[in-house]
Structures are given as C-alpha cells and as structure tokens.
Amino acid sequence: MIDGTSAFLEGVVRTATPLAFAALGETVTERSGIINIGLEGSIIAGALGAVVGAGYGGVWAGFAFAAVCGCAVAAIFALFAVTLRADQIISGTAVTLLALGGTGTLYRVLYGSAGAALNTPTLDPASIPLLSRIPVVGRALFVQPSITYVLYVLVPVVMWWTYRTHAGLGLRAIGENPAAATAAGIRAKKVQFLAVLFGGLLGGISGGTLVLAQAGTFVEGMSAGRGFIAIAIVVLGRWNPLGAALAALVFGAASALQFFFQATGSNLPYQLFLAFPYVLTLVALAATHGRTNSPAALGRQDFEQS
C-alpha cells in the first residue's frame, strides 16, 4: 500500500511540474497586467524545440532550445499585445493557433510526412540523499527528474524578485496602476514585453519537460490545453508564485488519478479521467470567485490613456 501511495504522489509531482513552470511564468506576465492566452503556443513550441535541441546536444540542449522557442512565440504575442496594444485575447488565441499549426507542420517537414515516432533522450529521476528518505513525501518530492529541482529553486527566487526587489515592485505597479507607474518613470511597454518573454521562456521549459522528462517524444498538440489550465492555476494561486506552484499540485493530482485508477483496474470510462482536469479547472475558477486579488489593470488595452 505504501508503494501505491508513494507512486501516486510521485505521479502528482511529475505531472504538476510542467504546469507549475508554465503557471509560474504566467504569474509574472499577468502581474504586469498582460494576460497571455498564447501560453499554450509557447508550451507546444517548447515541446518541439526540445526534440530538435536534444537531437543535437542531448537533454540540456533540448531544454535550452525549448526555452528559446517558447520565448520566440511569446515575442510574437508581445509584438501584438504590448507593442501594438492589440486585444490580448485575440492575439493570444491567434498565437496559440499559429504555434499549434506551425509545430505540426514543422514536425512533419523535419521528421517525415507522417511525423514518424521519434525518441529523445529523457531525464532519469535523480534521488537527493537524505531528503528522499523522508517518510511518505520524500520519494515523491526528491526522486524526480532534475528539472523538477530547478523548479524548486526558481519558485523562491521569483517570489523574492517579485516582492523584495525594486524591479519586482515596478512590475507589480504596472499591473495595478499603469498610470501611476508610468508617471513614476517606469517604462510600461518595456517591462511588459520582458514579462511576456519570461512567461514564454518558462512556457517553453514546460513544453520541454513534457518531452524530456515525460513522453520522450513529440506528438502534435501534446500541450493538450496545459497553457489554459496554467492560466487557471495562476488565478487559483492568487497571482502569487508560491501559490501557483501549490495550485499546480492540485492539477497534478487530478491527472495522476488517471494512472492510479488504471493501475487499480477500475471500470470507470477512461475519458472521465482525461476530462477531469478540465472540469476541475472550471470548478476551481468558480470556487475562487470573489476571493481573488487580480492585478487591477489585467487585460486592459488602454494603458497609455489611463
């Protein structure tokens, strides 16, 4: 039984990791007042980038290239949503569509007309001495692919940066009161552009994690709505980096349930488990109603006029 629980918790952390990366990046983006619906596009671009990069220089080159690809997609979004001040929702939707179609096309061009199954090297779980021997949660938290440990370091760093540095204050100021922030000499567009790029970078790593720590291959549309779930996680985590990471665990659990029930030979239809994370997203968004503290200027188009 202890093995069952332990395996389930390991699965929770494993499936939560890509969601947490994406949600952490989107938290920073949204703090600047920009909602990037194109995050899904960064994730799928990161997934394809990971395959390409890993083909040249192994797992870590894969992650590096994934981050670059995620960033590039986010740059397209930023060009429209930040530089041109176009509608963020439409820009984001278009960028997602572009990246989903573009990765599908590129994959077939690069790896054959049918997109032949291609295997990349993957990260093996690395055990951290002592910590991994903590009862119950030790294995789940500390016998993971090393990219998960990068996340453990990144969450407090982003937390510190957002709340304890001058630059972090500037970022939050733009999201709350762009007029005041601009008057105080903060260059709104520049900060927002960088915040979108950072979100895309982590979105790319999120996609890289799907390939290099989980699937070991690229499948068209494998991001499967994680970008949108991550946006819900940001809400659930109340625009707080640590909150986002913890909320990601809830969604990790929802996905891991699927493997758990399959292992126990349940008769429930598998589509029920596949659909569960999406249902949970709706319930979570409804449940957090009225208790949120979203950046006041989130999603606004009229920064300069306010």
Partner 1 sequence: MTETMAFVVDMLVHATPLVITGLAVALAFRAGVWNIGADGQFIAGATAAAWVGVSVPAGIGWLALIIALVAGVIAGAIWAAIAAWLRSRFGVLEVISTIMLNFIATYGASFLVRGPLQEPTHVYPQTSGIVSGAHMPILLRGTRLHWGFVIAVALAVIAWWVMKYSATGFRVRASGVNPFAARSAGLIDVSRVTAFAFVASGAIAGMAGAIEVSGVTFALYENISPGYGYTAIAVALLAGLNPLGVIGTGILFGALETAAGTMQRNIGIPSTTASVIEAIVILAVIAVAQLRANRVTTSA
Q: Cβ closer to partner 1: 56 or 305? A: 305
Q: Cβ closer to partner 1: 147 or 233? A: 233
100 binds partner 1 (CB under 8 A): yes
Q: In the range 223-282, which residues lie near partner 1 by CB under 8 A?
A: 224-225, 228-229, 231-232, 269, 271-272, 274-275, 278-279, 281-282
168 binds partner 1 (CB under 8 A): no
94 binds partner 1 (CB under 8 A): yes
113 binds partner 1 (CB under 8 A): yes
Residues shown for the chain:
306
CB 103 within 8 A of CB 42: no
Q: Cβ closer to partner 1: 63 or 228? A: 228
86 binds partner 1 (CB under 8 A): yes
36 binds partner 1 (CB under 8 A): no
Q: Cβ closer to partner 1: 5 or 93? A: 93
Contacts of 11 (CB under 8 A, 6+ apart): 252, 255, 256, 259, 260
* Least Å from the CB of residue 182 to partner 1: 16
Q: Token digits for 79?
A: 């060009």
User: Which residues form the interface with partner 1 (CB under 8 A)?
Assistant: 37, 76, 80, 84-87, 89-91, 93-95, 97-98, 100-102, 104-105, 108-109, 113, 220, 224-225, 228-229, 231-232, 269, 271-272, 274-275, 278-279, 281-282, 285-286, 289-290, 305
